[in-house]
Amino acid sequence: MLLRILLPSKVFLEAETVKVLAEAENGHFCLEPRHVDFVSILVPGVLTYVENGGRFWYVALDEGILVKRGEEVRISTYKAIRGARLEILREKVETEIRQLDEAERATRSALARLEVGILRRYGRLSEVLK
């Protein structure tokens, strides 16, 4: 099967697989090449896939949609991080979460400065108009 993971801005992954394991709202499931066509809403979690040579890969996914049609499995999600081992994947996810927290703090700080600037200018303008 061809596994394609699509992000809003790019194709994150294309890989030949023999098995895909994922999690939906109602639990985990496994897809293999001969399974029927299938559609599912994925919950945030770890997707596992097995390459033709038997190597396991892990992908941390945000929520998304999985569509299996024939020999192709497509997943559309907002965020994805891949790792060869779960320990490495966990470290990558933790690093990205820290980076997002720092970016969020910087954004909140910038917004606070903008709000203060707007309030000061509004105060000056109301004094001039009196």
Per residue in 16-42, pLDDT (tens digit) is 999 999 999 999 999 999 999 999 999
Please state the pTM of the whole predicted model.
Answer: 0.72
The domain total for the chain is: 2
Structure tokens at 105: 């703090």
Chain segment 50-72, per-residue pLDDT in tens: 998 899 999 998 889 999 999 99
Q: Which residues contact 30 (CB under 8 A, 6 or more apart)?
A: 19, 20, 21
- CATH number, domain of 22, equals 2.60.15.10
Residue-range definition of the domain harbouring residue 76: 2-84
Residues 6 and 70 in one domain: yes
Does 8 share its domain with 28?
yes
Residue 87 to residues 1, 20, 41, 51, 83: CA-CA distances in angstroms? 26, 20, 26, 19, 8
Of 50, 69, 84, the position where a domain reaches its end is: 84
User: How far is residue 128's CA from residue 15's CA, in Å, rounded to a whole number?
Assistant: 65
Direct distance between the N- and C-terminal alpha carbons of the chain, in angstroms, rounded to an integer: 73
In this structure, are 91 and 80 located in the same domain?
A: no
